[in-house]
Every structure is written in structure tokens, then in C-alpha cells.
Structure 1
Amino acid sequence: MAVEMTTLTGLEPRSFWGHFEALTRIPRPSRHEEPVIEHVRAWAAEHGFELHQDAGRNLVIRVPATPGRESAPVVSLQGHLDMVCEREPSSPNDPAEGRIALVRDGDWLKADGTTLGADDGVAIAAMMALAEDASLPHGPLELLMTVAEEVGLEGANAFDGSLVEGRVLVNLDSEEDGKLTVGCAGSTDTWVRVEASRDAPVADAVALAVTVSGGLGGHSGMNIEYGRSNAIKVLGRALREAHATVPFRLVSLDGGKSRNAIPRDAAAVVSVDGAREADLRAAIETAAATIRDAFSKTDSGIDVTVDAAESTSDPWTDAATTMLLDAIALVPTGPLAMSPDFDGLVETSTSLGEAMTDGDRLTLHSLSRSSNDSALPEVIAALDAVARLAGGELEVKHNYGGWRPDLDSPALAALHASYEGLFDEEPIVTAVHAGLETAVIGDKVPGLDMISFGPQIEAPHSPDERVSIPTVERFWRLLVAFVDELSKPGKDT
């Protein structure tokens, strides 16, 4: 399949970058992956590869071994087709519509005003480039391309494990160069839903829009350790502190765009007596100044603004406003425990990812993670307490358990040897505080020997996402050497 090269002209490996650029022109938001599925289907047909699709819409492409490697064990390469489609409000580009404008910034590749989709376009492009290059030795391969990874690993949860023939699974969805990942956190989604009474606004009331913006955001697992601001929590704090001195009534509160991204933006509409408008503006600015100082080292650009607004809904009552702001204050967000196995790794965390107003109801959607399955019940209990105290209810959806490390893994030993042979240095063996599909697929296919690695990707799930070009080349070399090593005559993994 011929791929036009533009921004990426001259980069190696050429085939990889060609496939990556093609993916940036294809809409692939979670749960709406049909265009990219058809793209892969056409590519597989062009090369004569056998393709299977399960009821969950996941793809498995079987790639024959190169000559002399036919008797090698089947190796499964795995990544996901969907991406988080975030964009700056002012950007003309939109990944959800297949409009990603690539920008090269020195050794980095990023997108103009949107997420880049290196998470996990890197995996899909690498699998396609490797499979079609007959000069690269490998045994039989199966390319596992899942859907809806970014919304609770839905594709992996629906995956038909009987399609897997390999005993080694190589996940290509890691984001740190030089690290070999052997474990990940499990996760649980929760929704605190509170319905509260509304009433007509007071006479002469005015409506104001209070907006939080400028936070760095990022992945709510990989970046949670940095202590970055959460726009929903910032908005709740600013309103709650202002409400203590200037009464107002909340009309709506919304924020966040993705369950697994730290919210960068949030907005509320409030109703206040016109005679107290100036007082409320001043009280919010006082709160905002304190908040900006609190996050001066992590989110120096965070801002809280107040503008005139129009409201077509009655505000919540005084009591309801107090109760809803208290609930937001009580929802925990951030790291809760550190790993006893790996230095500097978060073991347990929770992130308030979305706030949504729908009629009389406010919904607070959190994603809680832990590599210690026994730690999550305490987090869920805290969120249940929030719902109870607010007179609401809690919905809980357990997504998957953690992937426990196996430091005696033959695949790890082979990858470790390949890494040392290529780069003459020791890799770092670690786990990640994020969800990898290995956790789910490993449950469906008992006995799989699993490993994960990738290039350096920073700020995934945000418009600041970028991938290091030199580490993509290192990632590619390691992948090629690893599948070669696994398929050498006499090799038994």
C-alpha cells in the first residue's frame, strides 16, 4: 500500500513512518474504529494475510514465518487501534475526524493542537511494517489489534482468547524508552450520581461562567505521580471557597473529556444576586490566586476566569449547591500509595476524570487504579461514602485486575539479551501504573508469557503528546531483533 510521505520524509524506518502518517489521517476514536479497521483489512488483503475478527471487533492477522523459521513458536504482537481524541478548543484540527497535523520539533514529533495518536499508533505501524518486510527474519506471527482500549480496555475484555495460538505475547503499548515492562495496574470505574432540587433564581440574579483552563493534564495513570492540577477539583475548590463568603447557587458543572486523562478544562455556571456580582468575582479571584500558587511548580499556566453567561435552567437550591460542592471536595484524586516492589512507582491512585450535569443530576466519574487488587476496595469505599453523604448513589465497574510481574519469564530473558546486544547497556525492568491489555488477555489465555516495551512517548491523552523520533528507531531495532531471537532454530520460549 503506497503511502505518501510529507512531514516525515527522510525518517527511518521509512515503512514504519509511512504507516504511522497514514494512521493520522484516519478517524479512530474509541468505539468508532470502523475506518481504521477497514484500512487494516485492505492492507492484510493486499499482502495475502489471513484476517479474523471476533464479536468484539478486534482483529487477528496471521503472518507466515520467513523461510527457515516455519517451525518456530508463534509469537503474538499486540496493540490497540483507537486513540484519545483531545484537542485545544481553538485548534482547527480534530483527531476524531482524521485531522492530525504533524509537527517535527527537533527530535520530537507532535501534533498541532491535538493528541498525536502515538498511543497506540506506534504499535499498529510497527506491526504492519514488520509483517510486510520479507527481509526481516521471524517465525509465525499473529498481530492482535484491539479496539476501545482507551475506554476501559473494552476491546480486550470482549476478545476471543481462542484466536490466540502463540504462547508469547509482546505488547507494544509502553511509553518509556529503555524500560521493559512486566506488570501493570488493574482498574475500576466509579460514578457518583447525585440528584438534587432546583428552584427559581432570586430576583435580579445574574449568571456567571467560571472556567478553569491551562492545566497540563496527561495520562491519569502514567502522569498521576507528578501532582498536576485536576481542573474539576480546581473548579470545585475555587467555587467552594468563594461560596463561603459570597452565597450563590450552582446551575451546572462540567469538565474533563476522557476517563483516563487528568482533566485540563472545566466550567460551571452560577447564579448570584446582581448586587453581589462584584463580590463573587473578587472572591473567586482570591481563591484562584491561592490555587495558582499551590500548583506553581506543576501547572504554572493554570487559570480561573469569570465571564457573563446566559442560563436557561433554574439553579440548584442553596442546600443542594453546598452539598454538591462538598461532594466534589471529598472525592479523592491523586496518588494514594507507592509500590513496595519498584522504587518511585505509584501502587494505588484515583483520578476524577469527568463531571457531567444532566438535568437535576451531577455525575462524578473516577478511574481508580492499583497493582495491588486488595487495595482498591478501600478507595471504592471512600467514593461510596461520598455518594452516601450527598444522598446519591455509586455505580462501580471493575475493569480488570493487575498484571503480576514474572521476573523469571523466558520472554523477558530473551528481550533483555536482545536489548543488551543492541545497545550495550542494561535495560530497566519495571511495571507501570496504567492499564495494559496484557492484564486482560493474560486472564483469557492462561500461561501466556508476556512482555511490553515501546519508544518514549510523553503527555499521552493530551494535546501536548509527543514521541521521541530517535527512540522510535531504537524501539524498531529492538522489535526486529527480538522476533528474530525468539524464532532462531532451537529456541523454545
Structure 2
Amino acid sequence: MVEHLEPEPFWAHFTQLTKIARPSRHEEPVIAHVTAWAAERGLRLRSDSTRNLVIDVPATPGREDAPMVVLQGHLDMVCERQPDSPNDPTEGRIELLRDGDWLTADGTTLGADDGVAIAAMMALVEDEQAPHGPLQLLMTVAEEVGLEGANGLDGSLLDGKILVNLDSEEDRKLTVGCAGSTDSWVRAPASRAPLDPSSVALSVTAEGGLGGHSGMQIQLGRANAIKYLGRALREVGAQVPLRLASLDGGKSRNAIPRDATAVIAVAAGDAERVRELLAQSEATIRDEYAKTDPDVSLVAADSEPPADAWTAAATDELLDVVALIPTGPLALSPDFDGLVETSTSLGEAITEGDVLTLHSLTRSSNDAAMPGVLGTLEAAARRAGGEVEFKHNYGGWRPNLDSPALAALRVAYDRSFDDTPIVTAVHAGLETAVIGDKVANLDMISFGPQIESPHSPDERVSIPTVERFWTLLVGFVDELSQPTNGHAR
């Protein structure tokens, strides 16, 4: 599938990674793979208590006096799959598909986020034609679940003062800042009671949305399955009595939910009317998302009646709180045109006993905007008689447009390409935000190839931009190790 693509060593390593299970918090197989690779080359490898890896790479001849540069990416990936796909990234089963200039996977996430970084680092070390100063390869774990690896990093393992993050997803963009994030869990306990023996149950599934990354793609206005399922049930419940037995949806905190399912109980004589009302709601929702998610749908199927369900009053309260949870862009950046500054995304709904938990991820590059959004979530929980738990993950990475690393990257870019790069920030979490707090005076930059729809089975990477990414990486480490560029000691 990737034979004869350039650079060949990169694609060889990338293909190997697709065959290795690497879900967040379960990176042991890929850690073993990288450890064996380093041992084969006699490279010193160290790790910290969080399982992050640091590999020391000597300079190429003549570049020994150049400053130490840290190349960084994460080992884990979001393991999403279509329900009917025989492939499963959690088991190392990713089937590559080529569609013209794009590489994607059959029914699953591809893992270009961030297999691109790991493959590039390994290929660079093996490339005898790529001059560089001393390098440290920092490979973190559990990035996709709140940057846990970076948060647990032992900063004393790093000796470099320049850090190059290889986890950006837009070609021609040089990233110099990112949003911080906070997780929230609104937990709403509500009264449940046995069902009337004459009740019937329906399983209602919201599906067909495109989903995507809740930071990088939040500005696209895509459908959130939990939100529009809750909306439909709320609309139906305004006309026909119903009781909610369960509501579950979403698979990843940082992915826009593509599907969600609720089990409801209604009087036997109302079942057909409920189906009609759901069809009406579906038509309105499809119209709303006709441009962004044309295939969204609501599917109602007969279900085995559960032993109990939330009471009618509790059902109303819970559907109200789903409606009150904000989702989508909330403010635009005043510094970069078209960039979202603040957003929140309802990523998961979980039913456990009599408690409905709604897990959101709020992002902002403006730390001062966070309290207002979190206050809204707290108010929603209080209205439902529940409580909210917050987990602050990291603050924003503030841009430094006078960065020497940025200046060197511009030189390498101009030398390699005819177009002009865009210097920007991203509305997503990059580990630079955390690592910069752990290692003083780090000069940081981030770039990568074009990756679209990460965190969803539609994830794909542009093959030509991978070659551009590689060219820029090789040129950048060369520029940073030149004795006349101002970086050398």
C-alpha cells in the first residue's frame, strides 16, 4: 500500500506502527517495539514512572557542538472504529487504504495522530544523509486522555533547550501556541422506579454524524449525537409521556460523538406515536445539519423492557441538563483570524445506576475565559440536583513570535519551498503546553503534515505533505546545528 512512497524509511516505520496496538494507557506493545529498536542501534533509552521514553541520539560527525534538540511526539492513538468493521486498532488491526494522494484506514482511525511523529523520529535517526546535532527523542504516553504522559513527565530527563513537537496536523502551518483544557463531569443522580408491566421499551440510536476532533474541527459545527438525541427525546416527551432508562454515547473525551443510544419506556398504546414524533424530530435535525452531517439519523427499535427507569419528573430533569450543557465554539481568537479561542464539547454520556454522567472537554487559549464556561457547567449540574467534578489538564501555550527556533524554522522552510508558511496557534492541546512548564526556558515549535478528521474512522493523511514534512524536519535539524545560525554554543 505504501510501497515506493517517499521517504521510504518513514513509510516503513509508519506501516509497522499500524500493526501494533497502542491505545491510550495501554502502550506496552509499542513501548516494547521502540525499546527493541533503540537497543538494536545502541542508543541510550530512559523512562520515567509514567512510562514516557527519552532516547539519546549522538550528533552526526562535525555537529557535536550544536545545541541539544528535543524531538517530541506521542505513542498512543485514538482507537475509533465503525461498528461493522472487522478491523480494530486496539488489537493492532489497521488496514491501510490509498485514495489518490491520501492514505486512510478501512473502518478505523489511521493513527497518523501521532504515528507520523514516531515514524519520522525513527527514520531520521537511521538516515545517514541527514546531518544533525545531538538529539533527544521524547515519546510520551496517554496524550489522547488529557496529556497524562506529559503531565507526569520527569523534566530532568531532558537536556535540550529547543523542543520540536511533531504533532501538528496542518501543512504549511508553523504552530507557536495552543489551547489549554479542563475536563468536567456533570453527575446527575435522579429517582428511578419500576416500570408498569404494560410498558414497552424502545432503543433510540443517533448515528451517521461525521464526528471528528473536538478541538481542531469544533469550528465546523458538526452534529453531536448526544446533544441531538437528547433534543429529540425532549421534543417527544413534551407530547407523549416517556421515561428514560439509559443514555450512553461517545467513546473519546476529545472526539465529537458520532453515535449515542437511549432506552426509553412508553405506554404500549403510545409506541407508534413516539416513532412518528421521532421521525419528525429527525427531519428537523437532518435539515439543521444538511451541510455538515447529511447522514445523521435517529433509529428506533423494539427493546427488552428494563427492570426500572428514571421517573417521568427525573427524565425531564435529565433531558433538560443535556440541553443545558454547552457544545461548540464560544469565542474566536482576537490574535489569529478564524481561530476558535474558547469552546466546549460534550464528549461522553454514561449511565450508571441512577446517575447520568456527562463528560465534557473545555478548551481555551485564554486562561481567563475558562471560569465563565466552567461556571455554566456547574450551574447546569446544580439545576439537575447533581454535582460537577473538574480536572484542569494544562494551561495554554502562549505564542512567542520572537522565538529563535521559529526564525530557524523559517529559514529552513524558505530554503525548501517556494510558498510562504503561516505562523499560527491551534485550538487543541499540544504537549508543549505542559512540557514548557516542566522544563524552564524551552524554545518550542510545532509542525506536521496535513491530517484530516483525526479521532474518527475518516482520519486520513496527505501523502505529498508527508514528504514536505520530512523535508522540513531534515532541513530544520540541519539548520539548528549549523555553527553560524546563532544557536551553536
> Shorter-chain-normalised TM-score: which range?
over 0.9
* 8 Å CA contact retained: 2:176, 2:423: yes
Name the residue aligned to 1:52.
46
Name the residue aligned to 2:184.
190
| Distance (Å, rounded) in 1 between the aligned partners of 2:342 and 2:129 | 44
Name the residue aligned to 2:263.
269
Select which of 229, 235, 244 maps to 1:235: 229
| Distance (Å, rounded) in 2 between the aligned partners of 1:11 and 1:288 | 44
Name the residue aligned to 2:59.
65
Alpha-carbon distance, 1:203 to partner: 3.3
Name the residue aligned to 1:283.
277
Name the residue aligned to 2:136.
142
1:40 and 2:20 matched: no
Select which of 7, 31, 41 maps to 1:13: 7
Alpha-carbon distance, 1:133 to partner: 1.6
1:167 and 2:158 matched: no
Alpha-carbon distance, 1:39 to partner: 0.2
Q: Which amino acid aligns with 2:153?
A: F
Q: Which amino acid aligns with 1:297?
A: K
Please list, as runs of the form range in 1=range in 2, the aligned pairs for 1:371-390 lying within 5 A after superposition. 371-390=365-384
* 8 Å CA contact retained: 1:44, 1:51: yes
The residue matched to 1:225 in structure 2 has which SS? helix
Q: Please give the per-residue CA displacement for 1:59-80, whole angstroms capped at 9, x wherever unaligned.
A: 0000000000001000000000
TM-score norm. by structure 2 comes to 0.99
| Distance (Å, rounded) in 2 between the aligned partners of 1:304 and 1:354 | 18
Alpha-carbon distance, 1:313 to partner: 3.3
Which ranges of 4 or more aligned residues in structure 1 deviate by more than 6 Å?
A: none
Alpha-carbon distance, 1:202 to partner: 2.0
| Distance (Å, rounded) in 1 between the aligned partners of 2:189 and 2:271 | 27
Q: Please give the per-residue CA displacement for 1:219-265, whole angstroms capped at 9, x wherever unaligned.
A: 00000000000000010001000100011100000000000000000
Name the residue aligned to 1:27.
21
| Distance (Å, rounded) in 1 between the aligned partners of 2:307 and 2:176 | 51
Name the residue aligned to 1:95.
89
Alpha-carbon distance, 1:426 to partner: 1.3
Alpha-carbon distance, 1:490 to partner: 3.2
The residue matched to 2:203 in structure 1 has which SS? strand
Please list, as runs of the form range in 1=range in 2, the aligned pairs for 1:58-457 lying within 5 A after superposition. 58-457=52-451
* 8 Å CA contact retained: 1:240, 1:325: yes
| Distance (Å, rounded) in 2 between the aligned partners of 1:324 and 1:428 | 45
Alpha-carbon distance, 1:421 to partner: 1.2
| Distance (Å, rounded) in 2 between the aligned partners of 1:53 and 1:20 | 22
Q: Which amino acid aligns with 2:303?
A: A
| Distance (Å, rounded) in 1 between the aligned partners of 2:192 and 2:78 | 35
Alpha-carbon distance, 1:491 to partner: 3.2
| Distance (Å, rounded) in 2 between the aligned partners of 1:491 and 1:214 | 52
CA RMSD of aligned residues (A): 0.6
Alpha-carbon distance, 1:425 to partner: 2.0
* 8 Å CA contact retained: 1:212, 1:303: yes
| Distance (Å, rounded) in 1 between the aligned partners of 2:236 and 2:119 | 50
| Distance (Å, rounded) in 2 between the aligned partners of 1:103 and 1:241 | 41
| Distance (Å, rounded) in 1 between the aligned partners of 2:440 and 2:237 | 54
| Distance (Å, rounded) in 2 between the aligned partners of 1:166 and 1:313 | 60
- Structure 1 spans left out of the alignment, 5+ residues: 1-6
TM-score norm. by structure 1 comes to 0.98
* 8 Å CA contact retained: 1:47, 1:132: no
Q: For structure 1, which segment, 129-138 or 469-478, has the greater mean C-alpha deviation from structure 2 after superposition?
A: 129-138
